[in-house]
Every structure is written in structure tokens, then in C-alpha cells.
């Protein structure tokens, strides 16, 4: 019997019944009434202690909670995550002999390396802080990266630094520019262009499936022909 019909029948007399439209989602007792089970062991004590981070150079003293009984002089455990990028700085002689570039001045190169060292090669920040007004430059992020890696690799070669100590990097500025242009074009697609591309992908998959089916049929036919030829040869030898 439908719920609506049953509701009319039971509410027609003096007795009134309430029919719930949804079944209860929780049918088991336990998780709604569960309480925390405390252990019988004594609670460990904690202490508000000062500490210094060896990764900092300003000797700033902060405080945090530590368990009572631990060594208060232990090294701050998160200091090991302070990884510094190996960084090289050129001398005046090295710049004059190996690093001159018609597109870059010495002051501009020095400014770039100072930013890279200050912001740990975070190129979005370096690109934002690069003083283009001072040097009257329109260089983009790709140009900054190209100059940085060129200088670093040249200094490594001049000083005889091995790749184990500091790896070399090759940066193709033209490839990077084309890659970003393609990403911009992909992002700027309209809904119609995206749908057209999806339709082309589906059509390509259908073509590939049909090609595989034809190849499979051709292979099956070739196996059948080969088997027929072998049978004919056996019959011919037997009759001969």
C-alpha cells in the first residue's frame, strides 16, 4: 500500500498517526553514545620551553611545548628542512673574462643574482622584484632564467666544480616561450573549440579501433591462407 493512501486511512478516524517520510539512517546504538576511554596510566607532563632555530641567523628565541624529561638542548628538529640552494657569485675578473653579454650589463647581472640569492630562486618573486625601470629593460622571466643558468654553468666550468657538488642546468629559452604560448592558447579556448577538440579525439579513437579491427581481420585471413596452403602441400605429398 502506498504511503499517501495509508495516511488517509489511518487519519480518517479519531486516532492520529504520524508516518515518517524517511527511514532512520542510524539503526545501531554505539557511536552516538560512545564516550572517551581514558587509560589508567598517568598523563605525561608538558612544559613551555624556549628554543632557538639553528637555521636562522638572527638568534631569535621562540617557545613551544615539549614533554618533560626530553633533552632541552637538542637541536630543533625542523631545522633540517632548511635546504639552501648552492649559489655562486662572480668576481670582477671572471665577469670581464667569461660573462660579458651585449644584452646584459654587469650591474643588471649583479642585481639578478642578488635577487636569486635573496629569494632562493623563486622565479615568480624574482621576476616581480626585478627592477626594469632602473635598467630600462623589458626582459621576461625566461630571459632572467637564461642569464642566471648561463652564468652559473660558466662559473662552474671556469672554477672546475664537479656536477656532484652542484649540478649543471641547460635552459632552452625559445622552447620555454613556445611552451607557455601553447598553454595560453589552450587556456583561452572557447567552449565551442574545446567541444570540437573532444569530438576530434573521439573520432580519432574510432578510426584507431577500425584500423585495429582491419589489421586483426587481415592477420586472421593470412593465418587461414597459410593453414590452407600447408594442408594442400601435405595432401599433394601423400598422393604423390
In percent, how much of the chain has pLDDT > 70? Answer: 80
Domains in the chain: boundaries: 46-81, 92-177
Say whether pLDDT at 61 is over 70: yes
> 61-92: b or e for each residue (b if 16 or more CB lie within 10 Å)?
eeeeeeeeeeeeeeeeeeeeeeeeeeebebee
* C-alpha 191, offset from chain centre: 26
Q: Which residue has the cell 671556469?
A: 158
C-alpha to C-alpha distance for 231 and 146, rounded to whole angstroms: 70
Q: Nine-digit cell at 120?
A: 632562493
| Whole-number pLDDT of residue 119 | 92
The average pLDDT across 45-70 equals 91
pLDDT tens column, 168-226: 778 888 999 999 999 999 999 999 998 999 999 999 999 999 999 999 999 988 888 88
Short-list 94, 126, 101, CA closest to 111: 126
| Whole-number pLDDT of residue 18 | 57
Q: Nine-digit cell at 13?
A: 478516524
Say whether pLDDT at 103 is over 70: yes
Q: Nine-digit cell at 116?
A: 636569486
* Sign of the alpha-carbon dihedral angle for 133, 138, 141, 142: negative
Q: Nine-digit cell at 1?
A: 500500500
In percent, how much of the chain has pLDDT > 90? Answer: 51
Q: Are 92 and 75 in contact (CB under 8 A)?
A: no
Short-list 145, 102, 153, CA closest to 126: 145
pLDDT band at residue 238 using 50, 70 and 90 as cut-offs: very low
pLDDT band at residue 19 using 50, 70 and 90 as cut-offs: low
pTM: 0.58
Cα–Cα distances (Å) from 171 to 50, 74, 85, in that order, read 46, 42, 18
Short-list 146, 45, 106, CA closest to 114: 106
| Whole-number pLDDT of residue 20 | 59
3-state helix, strand, coil in the chain (%, to 5): 55, 5, 40
Instruction: Find all residues with CB under 8 Å of 141, minimum gap 6, and list them.
Output: 123, 124, 126, 127
What is the domain class of 92-177 according to CATH? mainly alpha
| Whole-number pLDDT of residue 73 | 84
Q: Nine-digit cell at 224?
A: 587461414
Say whether pLDDT at 3 is over 90: no
Give the lowest-confidence range in 12-26, 64-78, 165-179.
12-26
The average pLDDT across 82-110 equals 90
Q: Which residue has the cell 498517526?
A: 17
Q: Which residue has the higher pLDDT, 64 or 23?
A: 64
Say whether pLDDT at 229 is over 90: no
Amino acid at each position: 500500500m502506498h504511503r499517501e493512501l495509508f495516511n488517509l486511512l489511518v487519519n480518517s478516524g479519531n486516532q492520529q498517526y504520524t508516518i515518517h517520510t524517511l527511514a532512520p539512517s542510524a539503526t545501531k546504538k554505539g557511536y552516538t553514545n560512545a564516550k572517551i576511554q581514558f587509560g589508567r596510566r598517568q598523563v605525561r607532563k608538558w612544559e613551555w620551553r624556549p628554543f632557538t632555530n639553528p637555521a636562522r641567523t638572527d638568534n631569535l628565541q621562540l617557545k613551544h611545548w615539549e614533554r618533560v624529561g626530553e633533552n632541552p638542548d637538542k637541536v630543533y628538529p625542523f631545522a633540517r628542512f632548511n635546504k639552501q640552494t648552492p649559489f655562486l657569485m662572480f668576481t670582477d675578473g671572471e665577469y670581464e673574462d667569461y660573462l660579458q653579454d651585449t644584452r646584459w650589463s654587469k650591474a643588471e647581472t649583479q642585481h639578478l643574482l642578488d635577487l636569486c640569492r635573496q629569494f632562493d630562486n623563486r622565479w615568480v618573486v624574482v621576476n616581480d622584484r626585478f627592477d626594469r625601470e632602473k635598467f630600462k629593460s623589458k626582459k621576461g622571466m625566461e630571459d632572467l632564467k637564461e642569464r642566471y643558468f648561463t652564468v652559473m654553468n660558466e662559473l662552474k666550468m671556469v672554477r672546475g666544480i664537479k656536477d656532484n657538488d652542484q649540478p649543471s642546468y641547460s635552459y632552452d629559452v625559445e622552447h620555454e616561450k613556445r611552451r607557455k604560448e601553447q598553454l595560453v592558447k589552450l587556456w583561452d579556448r572557447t567552449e565551442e573549440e574545446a567541444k570540437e577538440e573532444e569530438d576530434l579525439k573521439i573520432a580519432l579513437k574510432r578510426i584507431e579501433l577500425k584500423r585495429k579491427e582491419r589489421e586483426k581481420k587481415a592477420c586472421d585471413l593470412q593465418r587461414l591462407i597459410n593453414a590452407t596452403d600447408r594442408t594442400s602441400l601435405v595432401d599433394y605429398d601423400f598422393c604423390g
